[in-house]
Amino acid sequence: MKNETCIFCKIIKKEIPHNKIYEDKNVIAFLDAFPVNKGHTLILPKKHFKNIYEIPEKTLWEVMKLAKKLSITIKKTMKADGINVYMNNEEAAGQVIDHLHVHIIPRIKGDGYGYWKNKKSYTDKEMSQVTKKIIRAL
C-alpha cells in the first residue's frame, strides 16, 4: 500500500531523487537529506506503515536486520566512534514523516548532537508502580 502524499512513498516510486544505499523487495535505505552527521541513513519498509504500531513483525524484522548490517558498515566506512539507531513514533516523539523509518546516525565524539536533556527521575514507589502497570498490560 502506498500513500500518495507521503514523501517516502514518492522516493520509493522514484518520483523524488535520493541517494540509495540499499534496496530489496521489502526495504529501502538512503542517505538522509538533512543529516546529523555524514552517513546518516534512513531505512524504511517499501509498504506504507505509519509507525511501529502498524507494521507487521515480519516486516519490522526486515527493517531491523538491515539496520544492524548498515550500522556495522556505516560505522566502519565513516570512521565513526559509535552509532545511534532509533525510530520516532508519533508527533510527540519527534516523528515528522508518517512512514515508519529507522535512523542510522554515525556519531563522532564531540559532534554536539544530543538528546535526553530533560531527564526525569522516579521515586522507588513510582518505579515499582510503573513497572507493575506495564507488566499487567502485557
Please confirm, yes or no, whether 101 is among the known catalytic residues: yes
Neighbour-count burial for 10-21, b at 16+ CB within 10 Å, e otherwise: ebbeeeeebeeb
Q: Comparing C-alpha atoms, which of 56, 6, 59 is closest to residue 43?
A: 59
Phi-psi map region of 89: left, alpha, beta (phi>0 left; psi -120 to 50 alpha): beta
Pair 22, 29: CB distance under 8 Å: yes
Q: Which residues, in sequence order, are bridge partners of residue 43?
A: 29, 102
List 40, 99, 101, 103, catalytic entry: 101
- In angstroms, rounded to a whole number, what is the distance separating the alpha carbons of residues 3 and 46? 11
- In angstroms, rounded to a whole number, what is the distance separating the alpha carbons of residues 37 and 25? 28
Q: Which of the residues are catalytic?
A: 101
